[in-house]
Amino acid sequence: MFEPEMQYTEMGWAGANKHDETLCGDCFKAFHSEGKKVFVLSDGLGSGVKANILSTLTATILGTMLTHGITLEEGIDTVVSTLPICRVRQLAYSTFVVLQLEHNVAYLAQYDNPAVIVMRGGKNLNYPKDVRFVGQKEIHESRIPFVEDDIFIMMTDGVTNAGIGKLASAGWKREEIIAFLERLDVAHMSAPRIAAHIVNGCLALSQDSLDDDTTVLVIKLRQRSVVNMIVGPPQNKEDDNHVLRLFFAKGGLHIVSGGSTARAVSKFLNSPITMMEETQTEEIPAMGRMEDVDYVTEGVITLKKVLELCEEFEKNPLKLLSFCQKKDAASVLASILIEQATDVNIYFGRAANLAHEGTDIDFQTKLNLIRQLEELLQRMGKYVKISYC
């Protein structure tokens, strides 16, 4: 067990549509209320628009009702009476899995989806399941006291069916997925990266042409992790030491962005800057190294690329795998913000930068960039605080 105020519920997802489909028939939703978090993953019958409607209704109704304390039975009854009937099959059908976190206990309710995989300490956890019927639906229920770094992996059957008729005649079996996850050492991996690796594996087995919509939702229970960034020196130079004392008093990683900011920090710490030429690319300037600072980067050019990478990740989480191993400053910072940070403190300096005179990089450009990054990180579930100085 770990203290509730130090808990962070990290959510990562990745997905890929069935070949030739523009709309996914899977849907996941996250709900939060006082002391309770509910996640629902649903897979609608068939594919395309109808499947999307079925899964969206199922996830929304179940999640909303459970979050407000309404029983699973009532939720399922509402889903059954609400879903539109398929004219061809005369069915209103959508599988689902519910994960509810409350009072350090994880409650699972699973209907016809591949069984949730729970990883603890990097190894598969065999958890008990009780079976009961709600109407004609066979529901598998579990209650699991959770501990720090437990990982819950929810998936649609596009995962377990991946590769059938191609590179995996029997699909991707559960025991094979577990072995894959244990080899990855997921205990030291973020939820977004775990989800991306699984979907990437499905694409590989299916030769990049999936026969079913495929969605993975990963929930990891972890300690909070603070990242502190300072972007630009304070407006009044006499405030430099005061602001930097506040900045370095905060626990967590410390990132210094911008050449003039780095020079002010170097003077404050009485520590020289050493350039890391191996991190330079044609697009992104090199990072620097300074004692007592975790990362030193160039300013606006790097931050623009960080924002671009984070936007690409938001649209397609598989993009994370393409830049998380790179060593340039933008890729490194984007990976840190996506995978490590739960809380981001940004000290935004309002000093005019004489080096930017005559260029299109003005104060408003930099401010807009930071605000866009703030909004994006908040959508990812990060707590972001900007202090203007």
Compute the mean pLDDT over every residue in the chain, rounded to the nearest whole number.
92
State the average pLDDT over residues 165-169. Answer: 93
State the average pLDDT over residues 113-140. Answer: 94
pLDDT band at 50 (very low <50, low <70, confident <90, very high): confident
Question: How confident is the model at residue 23, as a pLDDT?
Answer: 93
Question: How confident is the model at residue 88, as a pLDDT?
Answer: 63
As a whole number of angstroms, the distance between CA 308 and CA 85 comes to 42
pLDDT band at 246 (very low <50, low <70, confident <90, very high): very high
Return all residues near 359 (Cβ < 8 A) that are at least 6 apart. none
| pLDDT tens figures, 293-333 | 999 999 999 999 999 999 999 999 999 999 999 999 999 99
Question: How confident is the model at residue 85, as a pLDDT?
Answer: 66
Domains of the chain, CATH where assigned: 4-223 (3.60.40.10), 226-388 (no CATH)
pLDDT band at 92 (very low <50, low <70, confident <90, very high): low
pTM score? 0.93
Amino acid letter for position 304 = K
**Is residue 2's pLDDT more than 50?**
no
183: part of which helix (H) or strand (E)? helix 174-184
| pLDDT tens figures, 185-230 | 899 999 999 999 999 999 999 999 999 999 999 999 999 999 999 9
In Å, how far are 49, 75, 258, 340 from 27, measured between CA atoms? 12, 17, 41, 26
What is the sign, positive or negative, of the torsion defined by CA atoms of 335, 341, 343, 345?
negative
As a whole number of angstroms, the distance between CA 208 and CA 228 comes to 39
Residue with tokens 């590179």: 167
